[in-house]
């Protein structure tokens, strides 16, 4: 199980997605008041009470999918299917962060009119980098499946 390179790829993807659960900033911007978001809350101002965000649930689902892929190493069809679902979930969650960071300054009524200094946190980039490792894992599983199918033809 662990000797296969795609297992390492899926494990790295799970770890990268798990970084969002540490409570660090996904994005922040300054438009009159400082606003920053974690996977749990969206904070306006320094001492303001945060609005609840449930992004952590989507990250947890992605981690569970990655672990399911790792532990279903004998069923390659299932690994490929779950891998594509994980890839789509990763793309959608990254798009959710981007759209949320764009939509949030538009909803701010107390903010000044003008340019927003939007910056994404390192956690967003790590979360987006998991896409590459999921894709490499799917490629590895497909390569294994092709090798095993060609060995079955030789018998």
Tens of pLDDT, residue by residue over 105-128, are: 777 666 655 556 778 888 889 999
Model pLDDT for residues 39-92, shown as the tens digit of each residue = 777 777 665 667 777 788 888 999 999 999 999 888 888 999 999 999 999 999
Higher pLDDT among residues 10 and 45, named by residue: 10
Q: What is the DSSP letter of 62?
A: H
Asked if the structure places residue 53 within a domain, the reply is yes
Beta strand 119-120 with 27-31 is: antiparallel
Asked if the structure places residue 155 within a domain, the reply is no
Asked if the structure places residue 128 within a domain, the reply is yes
What tokens does 57 get? 């649930």
Classify residue 122 as exposed, middle or buried by CB count within 10 Å of its CB (0-12, 13-18, 19+).
exposed
Dist. CA 121–CA 27, nearest whole Å: 5
Asked if the structure places residue 153 within a domain, the reply is no
CATH number for the domain that contains residue 56: 1.20.140.150
pLDDT of residue 139: 93
Q: Is there a contact between 37 and 101 (Cβ–Cβ < 8 Å)?
A: yes
Q: How many CA atoms, within 13 angstroms, populate the side-chain half-sphere of residue 82?
A: 21
Asked if the structure places residue 95 within a domain, the reply is yes
Query: Could you identify the residue written with the tokens 């952590």?
Result: 56
Q: How many structural domains are present in the chain? A: 1
Asked if the structure places residue 65 within a domain, the reply is yes
From residue 59, alpha-carbon distances to 62, 75, 116, 131, 144 in Å are 5, 24, 27, 13, 28
Asked if the structure places residue 136 within a domain, the reply is yes
Dist. CA 82–CA 67, nearest whole Å: 10
């Amino acid at each position: 199980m662990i000797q296969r390179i795609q297992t390492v790829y899926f494990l790295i993807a799970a770890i990268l997605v798990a970084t969002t659960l540490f409570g660090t900033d996904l994005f922040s911007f300054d438009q009159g008041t400082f606003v920053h978001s974690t996977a749990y809350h969206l904070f306006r101002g320094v001492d303001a009470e945060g609005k609840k965000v449930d992004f952590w649930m989507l990250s947890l689902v992605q981690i569970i999918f990655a672990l399911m892929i790792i532990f279903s190493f004998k069923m390659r069809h299932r690994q490929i299917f779950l891998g594509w679902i994980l890839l789509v979930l990763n793309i959608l969650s990254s798009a959710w962060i981007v759209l949320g960071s764009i939509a949030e300054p538009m909803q701010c009524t107390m903010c000044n009119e003008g340019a927003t200094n939007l910056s994404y946190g390192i956690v967003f980039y790590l979360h987006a980098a998991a896409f590459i490792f999921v894709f490499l894992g799917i490629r590895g599983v497909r390569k294994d499946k092709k090798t095993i199918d060609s060995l079955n033809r030789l018998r």
